[in-house]
Amino acid sequence: MVRFTLAELAIHIGAQLENAPPELRVGNIATLIRATEQEVSFYTNHLYRKDLFKTKAAAVILASKDRHHCPVPTLVMNNPYLGYARAACLFHPKVVEPAGIHPLAYVSRHAHYPDNVSIGAYSVIKDDVTLGSGVVIGNGCVVENDVEIGDDSHITSNVTLCRGCKIGKRVLIYPGAVIGSDGFGLANDRGRWVKVPQLGHVIIADDVEIGANTTIDRGALDDTVIGEGAKLDNQIQVAHNVQIGAHTAIAGCVGIAGSTKIGQYCMIGGGVNIAGHIEIADKVHITGGSIVYQSILEPGVYSSGVPLETNQHWHKNFHRFKWLDEMARKLQSLEARLNKLEE
């Protein structure tokens, strides 16, 4: 187990150590209620105030406004959640995969790669694939023709990268993701569907993360593009020709229809549905479960949907919903009559 003094930890996470022996060594980070005297914890949510009062941690990472509620030493910083992330990375450094090609992997003799790549068992690397320095390909992956993967990217197990995908540097793709499958393009010929060839590619910039079982379709003519530093959670559907701006974060189970453009520094909550051929401005925050069917041209927080209620009340409200138009017309008529009477 890697251990650090509280003074070293404070420097690493950018915090101010208060009321603590700087030479005390800690070896892990844990929740407030489970942390021991050899571990640190963090506090970011007032719902855990009771746990803060009871914590046995060696020190707690928290904001200045909460320091007086803490019974143990503190590591004070403006963004304690960032401190938690930095501390967790320090105590649990990334595992470095050994370089080499597993004997059960297939690598085309027409692929291009340096000696320090790692390719796992049962993976298939096809013709004209180019792998950068330090690339890791997990077990059971398929990397199709003409794919490029930048330096230090990590493709975990059972990922499929379809033909022509361009993956940047330090990209992390989790198990089951499919990048570059055909978009949903169909033309109707007298009741029968005719497939529209998908001729574009998927371009993923540097420092992107893509969650498990997320699918990103190739473009129909132009490319589908994921911008630098974007973070995509699990089970997201990104349709053809979508563009996602730099440093945008998208939570799980979001569906994005084709040719939509999402700006930079956006945050999109879980279960959001986004219609096709619209634009979303930079720094837009869409709360979970919303349905977006028109462009959002100004930054801000946006929500839609009906909050949860009992089934009985929902049925009553839904029944009345059908009469909203008629009720609105009656209200307008009554307002007009009232205005005449007042005149």
Distance CA 169, CA 152 (A): 6
Query: How much of the chain, in percent, has pLDDT values that exceed 70?
Result: 100
Q: Which one of 12, 92, 240, 313 is the catalytic residue?
A: 240
pLDDT band at residue 94 using 50, 70 and 90 as cut-offs: confident
Give pLDDT, residue 340.
86
pLDDT band at residue 253 using 50, 70 and 90 as cut-offs: very high
Q: Is the pLDDT of residue 14 over 70?
A: yes
Give pLDDT, residue 318.
86
Q: Is the pLDDT of residue 95 over 90?
A: no
pLDDT band at residue 83 using 50, 70 and 90 as cut-offs: very high
Q: What is the pLDDT of residues 258-283, one digit of tens each?
A: 999 999 999 999 999 999 999 999 99
**Does residue 68 have an active-site annotation?**
no
Domain 4-91 fold is: 3.40.1390
pLDDT band at residue 1 using 50, 70 and 90 as cut-offs: low
Homologous superfamily of domain range 100-302? Hexapeptide repeat proteins (2.160.10.10)
Give pLDDT, residue 341.
86
pTM greater than the 0.75 cutoff: yes
What residues contact residue 224 under an 8 Å CB cut-off, 6+ apart? 183, 200, 201, 202, 203, 216, 217, 218, 238, 239, 240, 241, 242, 243
Selection from 109, 121, 154 nearest residue 135 by Cα: 154
pLDDT band at residue 342 using 50, 70 and 90 as cut-offs: confident
